[in-house]
Amino acid sequence: MADNPTTNPVSELLPITDQDHVRGGEHAAVTLVEFGDYECPGCGEAYLAIKCIESEMGDALRFVFRHFPYSRLHPHAELAAQAAEAAGAQGRFWEIHDLLFENQEALEFDDLVGYAKRLSLDLKQFRDDLKSEKYLERVRGDFRSGVQNGVFGTPTIFLNGIRHNGEADYETLSAAIARLREEDTPQAGITEE
């Protein structure tokens, strides 16, 4: 692997499992794993960048999103992550994922219920799931897996198992992905469980 100041190899990126939220094919040329926070402005920028890259790369990109709510700075992030899981249980994770990032300034309980209504979710189930904190442990499990992988802030992105230490804007991420593809960098530390 060529020396690159924006990446560091990670040998222990936890395996991608059926519990992960994955968009794209298992055999994509590039796997992008993001540890993100729905209230983090930098994650909002990364969201826009990743959407563009997904659109350009199509099946050549597999995107994995893991929760890393930084509650000390973002008081609504953990509840928003639970809302994403509650929607995911009803088969609508990616739809609410997009709504949460597109509405980062509105993540109160009532806002989240409004997004669930917009997606035609079972509102009683959604409310019950949030009130009971049914998915809190799932969200915290993602957070712990981030800590195990050296994540200390958001967004933290791994490209083919290599930590991306550059900015999460479109130009920087696109350039990093292009370098990986030019070098034909294998997917380090990314395994299926």
* Structural domain contains residue 192: no
pLDDT-derived band at 2, boundaries 50, 70, 90:
very low
Q: What percent of the chain has pLDDT over 90?
A: 79
Cα–Cα distance for residue pair 129/87, rounded to 1 Å: 10
Check whether 1 has a pLDDT greater than 50. Answer: no
pLDDT tens sequence across 44-71? 999 999 999 999 999 999 999 999 999 8
* Structural domain contains residue 147: yes
* Structural domain contains residue 63: yes
Q: Which of the two residues, 39 and 26, has the higher pLDDT score? A: 39
User: What pLDDT does 190 receive?
Assistant: 57
**Reported pTM:** 0.89
The rounded Cα 10 to chain-centroid distance in angstroms is: 18
User: What pLDDT does 17 receive?
Assistant: 87
Using CB atoms within 10 A of its CB, is residue 66 exposed (0-12), middle (13-18) or buried (19+)? buried
* Structural domain contains residue 193: no
CA distances from 132 to 7, 15, 37 (A): 40, 29, 21
* Structural domain contains residue 1: no
**Closest residue by Cα to residue 59 from 35, 33, 31:** 31
* Structural domain contains residue 191: no
Strand 61-67 relative to strand 30-36, pairing: parallel
* Structural domain contains residue 165: yes
* Structural domain contains residue 54: yes
Structural domain that includes position 26: 7-183
Q: What is the CATH number of the domain that holds 175?
A: 3.40.30.10
Cα–Cα distance for residue pair 31/22, rounded to 1 Å: 10
- Total domains in the fold of the chain: 1
